[in-house]
Amino acid sequence: MVDYPLASSEKVLNQSVDRYSKNKFPVYRFVPGLHPHPVNSPEGHSYGLEDEDVEKWNSDDWKYNDDYLYGIDLYNYHFYWEAHEAWEGLWLAAVRRSSEHMFIQGLIKTGAALLKVRMASFEIQDLIGARTLSKSGMDLLSRVGVSKFMGLDIVSYLESYYEFISPIFDNRIPDIDQKTPRIVLDF
């Protein structure tokens, strides 16, 4: 399978990016239209794997929440679709409209917007989805109610995210590279 070119090398792309979990990464970053669907296609990197149900969880225990930390790693290493999958169980198990629910959904949407930015290199109309998702994700994160949540300085993250994503509102496509905003947790 041809890997999606993100940078001249992984070393450059992920320079100085810390990992928060020990989970292995999938063999490719799913981009719709370029790769086999991870769970629906027999060639997919997660085909046949069972989804585990996520039980009720506590945001105060974020340092020990493997789904959360693995999702952060996936996001930071540009596995945006896969980060969504890692976080979706947490989002579904969270109380609707709670800080946890808005926070996880905000992370999912900001990551999905970056996936749409990547896809816009092939189909410019994907910028429309990137705009909608980025606005919604930033709005959700800003409504969590505190400036720091689950180890993330939300204000700093939103500033760097907006600075990176803002060209899409002028029909320009930013490069998904080592300057793409990362989620840095404060342990």
Domain ranges of the chain: 59-187
* Contacts for 93 with CB less than 8 Å, ≥ 6 apart: 54, 55, 56, 57
Quote the crossing angle between the two packed helices 99-120 and 66-76, to the nearest 10°. 30
pLDDT at 7 over 50: no
Percent of all residues in the chain with a pLDDT value above 70, rounded to a whole number: 91
Pick the CATH number of 59-187 from 3.40.50.800, 1.10.287.370, 2.60.120.620, 1.10.3450.10: 1.10.3450.10
Strands (E), 8-151: 148-149
Per-residue pLDDT tens for 74-119?
999 999 999 999 999 999 999 999 999 999 999 999 999 999 999 9
- Of the candidates 87, 112, 114, the residue with the CA atom closest to the CA atom of residue 181: 114
152 phi/psi in degrees, rounded to 5? -105, 130
